[in-house]
Amino acid sequence: MSAVWNTKYGTRRVRHDPPTLKEAILAAQGLTDQLMEQVEIAAALMDLPAAEVRAELLKNAQPRKAEQIVTTAGRAPRTVVVERRSRRIAIPQRPAAR
């Protein structure tokens, strides 16, 4: 189908907006958790060199707070979520004033 065609209601056009690099990166992140695979997928979607996509991906990378581990022990696979917490720092108490 071409970009412009005639219908009984008149001429119709299809607007074509290519995806942005950020949209390609979000799509790649939805497909895999591996950084290098995300770079390859986003580079293939945008027809860009992998180095350019990697630089943009690392700029927008978010630190991981949780990790999902899928195990297949038994009949049904189970998902275990491991959350990393920062250390608690004890603040020394001041002596009470009298």
In this prediction, residue 94 carries a pLDDT of 76
Q: How far apart are the first and last CA of the chain?
A: 87
Number of separate helices (H) and strands (E) present in the chain: 3, 4
Under a CB-based contact definition with an 8 Å cutoff, are residues 28 and 38 in contact?
Answer: yes
The pLDDT confidence band at residue 32, using thresholds 50, 70 and 90, is confident
Identify each DSSP E strand in the chain by its residue range.
Answer: 4-7, 10-13, 66-71, 78-83
In this prediction, residue 15 carries a pLDDT of 82
For the chain, what are the domain ranges? 18-83
Report which DSSP code applies to 8. Answer: T
List pLDDT tens digits, range 52-78: 999 988 887 766 555 656 666 666 666
In this prediction, residue 2 carries a pLDDT of 59
Task: Please list the residues that pair with 81 across neighbouring strands.
Answer: 68
List pLDDT tens digits, range 75-92: 666 666 766 666 777 777
